[in-house]
Each structure stands twice: as C-alpha cells, then as structure tokens.
Amino acid sequence: MVVSMPSIHTALEHLPSPYETALSQYDRAVQRLDLDDNVKEYMRWPRREFTVNFPVRRDDGRIEMFTGYRVHHSTILGPSKGGIRFSTNVTLDEVRALAMWMTWKCALVNLPFGGAKGGVIVDPKSLSVREKENLTRRYASELIPLISPYADIPAPDMGTGPQEMAWIMDTYSMTVGYSVPAIVTGKPINIGGSQGRTEATGRGVIIVMLEALKRMGRSNPNNTALVIQGFGNVGSHAAAYAYELGFKVVGVSDVDGGIYDANGLNIPKVRDYVAANRTLNGYPGVDHITNSELLTLPCDVLIPAAMEGQLTEDNAPHIHASLIVEGANGPTDTEADDILNDRGILVIPDILANAGGVTVSYFEWVQGLQEFFWDTDEVFRQLERVLIKAYDATASMTEKQGTDMRTAAQMLAIKRVGDALLTRGFYP
C-alpha cells in the first residue's frame, strides 16, 4: 500500500488540467480573430474568484469544515450564470475552466449572460438530507455578497439538483426579507421553476445530434448506435429521448462502470433500475464493462456526458464513433481533439452540444422575473429554435474558416464577447 501511493499521485499530476485545456482552446480560437490584443488578454482572465471555508454540523454533533468556490469569468454580456457542483473532485482550476466555458456557451447561443461556476469539495452521497441542507444553506449564505437575480444566478450541476436550488433560493430570500424565485434556476416547478428544465441539457444534446446526423446524410435512427458515458441528469435524459426517437442505445455508464448490449438497451428499464439501486452495477442480462472500455465500443455516436478530460491522446485513436456530441463540459483535451480531427471524426463541442440546460435556465429566469410561465411545448419549441440557430451559425463559421466545429464555435462566442467589451470600453 505504501509503495503504491506515489504512483497514484504521479498519475493524478499528469491528468489534463481543465483550465489549461480551456486556455489552449481559447488561444487557438483567438489566433484566427482580428481582435485587439488588449481584449484577447483581458478575456483570458476570470473577473473574480471566491474561496470560502465554512462549518457544517454533522448529525452526530461534530462540526466539519468544507471548502467551496465561486468564479465569475465574465459579466460583459450580463449577469454571470453557472452551476454549482458537489464533488470530491472540485478544484479551483476546474471551476475556473467551467466558468470560462460558460461564458462562451452563453455567448454562442446569444443569451444575455456571462459565465460563472461554483462548487464544494464534498461527496454528496456521504451526507444525510439534513447535513446536505446545512451544507447547501451555509455555502449559499457565504455567496450572498456575490449572487443576485441581476448579478450571478446559480443553477444545478454535478451532485446538485432542484432541492439544493430550493434551499439556496430560500436562504437568499430569508436574507433579503422577501421571496426571490429568480435568484436560481433549475428549482422545483412549485416554487417558480420552469417546465422542461430538468431534461433540457440531455434533450438539447439529442437535438444537436439530430442536426449533425441530418447534415451527414444519416436520418434513420434505427441504424444508428449510441454510446453514452454518464447516466446522471444529462446522460439519462439524453438516453431516454434518443430511445424515444428510435435510436439504438447500446452502452451507458455511471461512476461505477458501464453496461453494453449490442442489440440495444431498454432505457426505461435501465432508468428504473438506477432509480431503485442508485447504480448500474448488477443490471441483469448485459455485458458489464469499465468506463474506459465504454468509450471505445463500436458505435456511430459517442456522447461523453460525465466529466471533463475523458477523451485523451491515449484513447482517441481507438474511438469507433464517427460523431462525438459533448454532453459534458470539457470532455476532450487538446491532444485528443487533434487526433479526432485528423481521423475525420466530427466533434460537436460542449458549448454548443450541452447548451440546452443554460438556454432553458434563461427561459426560467425570464419567467421568474416576469411571473409569466410557459408550458412544456413552448419551452421545447423555443429550445430547439435557439440550438438550431446556434448550430447553423457554427457550421457556417466552420465552413468559412476551414476549421473544426470547436474552434468555429469559440470564435463566434469570443468575437461576440470581445465586440461587446470594446463597445462598453475598459473601466475606468
């Protein structure tokens, strides 16, 4: 045991840094843009970074200290917007990267938001409901100087969901003395949440996938095999919508591993099993595989919908899919991007592919401010309109610049933020 520890740490040190990946992607895109050098340098930096250390009372009476972060990358186009994740893997480096990607994502789909992200270093599964509420409320209270419906609007992310957003909303509302539904998005419908928000990111991934397949001349879902890494909110809803449309989902995975059936999985049954057991482990009648094996399964479409840094120079040469749709943020590092592009594999970048969540978050924010709510059909109609328009713009830029989809998408987004910055000017 003692001998193995240094090798584990050495391996961790060589994992791709999310922020280095984000900056590398940014540098590639701005090289092709005719932007003022001062603007290029300014947009590489987060506007502000907030670190908090706070106490949480455990059920046995112990006080335990936790560390949380909130990073605002940009507020040029409007209030910052971004999720809050609870995970033992949360780092400031990761949160910086996610905040930057949120800036480009919002700009690409023309939302009046800048990018933010937050997180607490904690395993949410290790907390009781009361402990999770205590942690969420105390973290939210530490963020009070930063958040407001007009400054920074949090949302769910990995390890958080509607209930955590409800606790944040209530904590903020109790602080200011009146109810403020628009302080968060992704909250329960009965306190001002939007129809369609829970499934928005996963559904959006499939909307974008459909557009890509259509342009590739592959419109028959029955002959298209999908593999989805990650079976949380994004992956499970993407799988469910794809299954509903007639696609053959042959492999899915969660943090414990994956399952594979070449004839296609019955996704409703898989979802029922996960709801009952909180894991894919033990699901009957299929091949059980590792997460790494899942990424190189034979398939037509690969949807990485778990964490950043999953597609690397090590596994990129072995991927069989002809189309990759990034349901997660930053799942592909720079070296893997080059390999996949050289192999002719089309990669739909995260800032386009998973923009469905922030798009419906925007709808929820608008509905909350106006106290005027839409039905599910209207939400999904508007979601598809926004994503297809963004896809068209990205595809046009790709063709015009003779580059890949990721660089084209970032060029569009960065140009919009840069132009807005020049119009506003540098303060003072």
Could you read off the pLDDT of 33-65 as tens digits, one per residue? 999 999 999 999 999 999 999 999 999 999 999
CB 303 within 8 A of CB 228: yes
Q: How confident is the model at residue 16 (pLDDT cuts 50, 70, 90)?
A: low
| Of the candidates 333, 232, 260, the residue with the CA atom closest to the CA atom of residue 28 | 333
Q: Quote the tokens at residue 307.
A: 């964490």
Q: Is a pLDDT exceeding 90 seen at residue 315?
A: yes
Angstrom distances, CA of residue 57 to CA of 66, 84, 134, 141, 174: 11, 21, 7, 15, 20
CB 170 within 8 A of CB 190: no
Q: Is a pLDDT exceeding 90 seen at residue 2?
A: no
What letters, b where the CB count within 10 A reaches 16 and e where it falls short, cover 254-280?
beebbbbbeeebebeebbebbeeeeeb
Could you read off the pLDDT of 316-369 as tens digits, one per residue? 999 999 999 999 999 999 999 999 999 999 999 999 999 999 999 999 999 999
CB 303 within 8 A of CB 186: no
pTM of full prediction above 0.85: yes
Total Cβ atoms within 10 A of residue 103: 31
How many whole angstroms separate alpha carbon 131 and alpha carbon 63? 11
The one catalytic residue in 40, 81, 105, 117 is: 117
Q: How far is CA 417 from the centre of its chain?
A: 20
CB 411 within 8 A of CB 32: yes
Q: How confident is the model at residue 75 (pLDDT cuts 50, 70, 90)?
A: very high
Share of the chain above pLDDT 70, in %: 96
Could you read off the pLDDT of 265-291 as tens digits, one per residue? 999 999 999 999 999 999 999 999 999
Instruction: Determine the straight-line distance between the first and last CA of the chain, rounded to whole angstroms.
Output: 57
CB 311 within 8 A of CB 339: no
Q: Quote the tokens at residue 325.
A: 């749709």
105 tagged catalytic: no
How many whole angstroms separate alpha carbon 76 and alpha carbon 360? 21
| Of the candidates 48, 41, 116, 104, the residue with the CA atom closest to the CA atom of residue 416 | 104
- Alpha-carbon Rg for the chain, nearest whole angstrom, is 21
Could you read off the pLDDT of 96-133 as tens digits, one per residue? 999 999 999 999 999 999 999 999 999 999 999 999 99
What domains appear along the chain, each with residue ranges and CATH number?
A: 45-180 (3.40.50.10860), 200-353 (3.40.50.720)
Q: How far is CA 16 from the centre of its chain?
A: 18
Mean of all residue pLDDT scores within the chain: 95
